[in-house]
Chain A
């Protein structure tokens, strides 16, 4: 596989600072070895500290908890209505049919950004101006990677960046040059695999997942050595034939091509050394007759040991799913006082329309309440399984195949004990049929009829103790945009019409909005503070837009956290 790295010579280069000049000087393509001994880069301890240093953002959700909740308060309820664009970065790329789904990482004043079609950039976080651009030379016969040409971000450790690709590789880069240091194959893209998620760096491991559940594939979570790219462990989301869980498939053939992709970044509890990861739909998506049974561990959350990749527990949200309701969500961790006892929980707002709270030590189900108006099921039984009322849409509307929400990140504000999620209210029915297998073609096995006239979207605040909907703010159509919150009590959300908005988390009052001009799809905001100025960054269309208060608005040049 040939690689192509493009150095972008910024117009006005001579006017850039000496720091930027020095970075350019290091951008010699021959410099493929991390060379600056004075800056060891990002340590695992730095990532563990998460939001303790809000002048950095070192992992997809900002920290391992998956909360996407920043401590920054310079932008607050009183001044957020004066938020204004600070800069815009135009990627010049295409992401037809999908979104610019990335969360940039920030280290030492530089944003590291991945884009669709496996572009990537290092940008000046103060101005949005690029240091380097990378584009992978992708093969012409991509499968799922052609359908969803997206990427959700880098992982980072030392001076290395990690990115997965549409032809299902994992790459390591030198963050200072954009040069590729190693390149390993995750899976065979020609049978339907691709990789789109942001790698999750834990202690001395780069953890990644795989896409391709619309094809006859078998999902897995992998951990790689950040230094060498060697595989440390692999966890298959569909067990080996004969292993526990395999009895939920009718035969080995159905199981081994039963999907269960792992294409959304999980969260991690370093004390328990447990990774929490969502798994995707069983394959074929809509045709269940060839895979009778629960189809473990598809449409589930799995808790996997970081050191070994061994399964500790699982919970299946949608047994024997026939709606393409992947459970590839960001699992959100919290500590809740339940019946006088502090419980370590993990929370998921699922594509099937239910909000779940589970004990993250053992997977015990603590709460499951619908957060959408679906008629698929209205309660989860004592056995932890949904009491299904209407599985094909013939008894009223079901959520469409994009679900009651999707992979776009939710957020959790621990001070308010509120979980915020962009919910999708849609109206679909499902007609399955037996698919025919053609190598490299999707085997969805059915038709979804959707009444687009009745859909809408809504930002919803869910009380995590009761599952009750505290407030909502409606959009005219179902959105695929994510959500971020801050300690100022603000919630930042996007919508399908391209509005980027700020809300009072306690009341749901809309405090500010900015029409970005293109839909916000699959991305949530991130935020950081530099030179005493807080920035909020959101991908929209194929641009990255940073917002900040006018310079005269913030009080102290040194503070404002």
Chain B
């Protein structure tokens, strides 16, 4: 297993970036991890924030707020942003009591992080080889691999083990926007498979299975079909045994640490 050492220099850099601009010790959330506060925060979020940031925090007219901690923020910074609003943007300041804001921060942090993988079982070294043989053609990890599928460098920090198993065993169950399959038939009969990166009423922007970025005018196509199936093959038990799956997950689990060390 190859692991990036958690060098003190890098860790120091993370702390500096994440720290608030003003001097002094970072203020911690008095309700961090408190289940009741998280429930209260969920309601407050739904009432005051969901209209712009989406009921699930994944963004609507406002940005996704579930990636904040992954991107290196901290509780105090989120608290201050909610308190003061965002200058030059539509996000207003809040006049609510501190306790309510901390409860919202606790909720946001709860939905923004996933528990670490269970370290039990799985050989990460073997998993790396399985990844190289089966996944790297389409998926990148720390700069290496294909570009057709999502970059998995941070995947263990944003997806639970159960969600990853689901995506490996049955990739068509949930396909993220930007990776949905389309089949095009050009005027000359050429058949093109790829994933949709953009679409409007008149055109479609596709990355095909050769990783070629290309836009097409719908009027020039013989037909185009949005497929329900992901381009990623199903990795059932015959293709990937339970043990191999454990190994692969163990490898993906190491990326969580590697990714955080790189920040």
Which A residues lie at the B interface, using CB under 8 A? 94, 96-98, 140-143, 146-149, 214, 401, 433, 435-436, 438-450, 473-476, 495, 497-499, 501, 510, 513, 515
B61 beta carbon closer than 8 Å to chain A: yes
B94 beta carbon closer than 8 Å to chain A: yes
Given A476-B201, A499-B201: A447 and B55 interface contact (C-beta under 8 Å) = yes
Q: Is the CB of B202 within 8 A of A441?
A: no
Given A447-B50, A499-B201: A94 and B89 interface contact (C-beta under 8 Å) = yes
Residues of A within 8 A of B243 (CB): none
Number of B residues near A (Cβ < 8 Å) is 28
Residues of A within 8 A of B56 (CB): 449
Known pairs A97-B90, A146-B91. 7 more at Cβ < 8 A?
A: A148-B90, A436-B47, A441-B48, A441-B94, A444-B47, A444-B50, A475-B201
Given A97-B62, A499-B201: A444 and B51 interface contact (C-beta under 8 Å) = yes
Residues of B within 8 A of A214 (CB): 51
State how many angstroms separate the Cβ of A538 from the closest Cβ of chain B.
16
- Complex Cα spacing A435 to B40, Å: 11
Q: Is the CB of A97 within 8 A of B55?
A: no
Q: Is the CB of B90 within 8 A of A441?
A: no
Q: Is the CB of A147 within 8 A of B92?
A: yes
Interface string of B79-93 (1 = CB under 8 A from A): 000000100111111
Residues of B within 8 A of A435 (CB): 47
Q: Is the CB of A513 within 8 A of B93?
A: no
B43 beta carbon closer than 8 Å to chain A: yes
Q: Is the CB of A97 within 8 A of B200?
A: no
Which of A147, A448, A475 makes the CB contact (< 8 A) with B55? A448
- Complex Cα spacing A473 to B202, Å: 11
Q: Would you list 25 pairs from A and B whose C-beta atoms are within 8 A, ordered by A residue?
A: A94-B88, A96-B89, A98-B90, A140-B93, A141-B93, A142-B92, A147-B51, A148-B90, A433-B43, A433-B46, A436-B44, A436-B47, A438-B95, A439-B95, A440-B95, A442-B47, A442-B48, A444-B48, A444-B50, A447-B50, A473-B201, A474-B201, A476-B199, A476-B200, A510-B201
Q: Is the CB of A96 within 8 A of B95?
A: no
Residues of B within 8 A of A436 (CB): 44, 47
Which of B48, B62, B201 makes the CB contact (< 8 A) with A497? B201
Q: Which residue of B lies closest to A475 (CB)?
A: B201
Q: Which residue of A lies closest to B199 (CB)?
A: A476
- Complex Cα spacing A499 to B92, Å: 31
B52 beta carbon closer than 8 Å to chain A: yes
Q: Is the CB of B95 within 8 A of A475?
A: no
Q: Which residue of B lies closest to A474 (CB)?
A: B201
Residues of B within 8 A of A449 (CB): 55-56
Q: Is the CB of B200 within 8 A of A475?
A: yes
Contacting A at CB under 8 A, from B54-101, are 55-56, 61-62, 85, 88-97, 100
Given A433-B46, A447-B46, A448-B55: A146 and B200 interface contact (C-beta under 8 Å) = no
- Complex Cα spacing A476 to B43, Å: 32
Q: Which residue of B lies closest to A141 (CB)?
A: B93
Given A96-B90, A476-B200: A146 and B47 interface contact (C-beta under 8 Å) = no
- Complex Cα spacing A501 to B201, Å: 10
- Complex Cα spacing A442 to B90, Å: 14
Q: Is the CB of B46 within 8 A of A446?
A: yes
Q: Is the CB of A146 within 8 A of B90?
A: yes
Which of A148, A438, A450, A475 makes the CB contact (< 8 A) with B96? A438
4 A-B pairs with the lowest CB-CB distances in the bound complex, closest first: A497-B200, A146-B92, A97-B61, A447-B46
Which of B91, B97, B201 has the largest number of chain A CB atoms within 10 A? B201
Residues of B within 8 A of A438 (CB): 95-97, 100
Q: Is the CB of B47 within 8 A of A448?
A: no
Residues of A within 8 A of B62 (CB): 97
Residues of A within 8 A of B90 (CB): 96-98, 146-149
- Complex Cα spacing A473 to B50, Å: 31
Q: Is the CB of B92 within 8 A of A143?
A: yes
Q: Which residue of B lies closest to A495 (CB)?
A: B201
Q: Which residue of B lies closest to A190 (CB)?
A: B95
- Complex Cα spacing A474 to B185, Å: 21
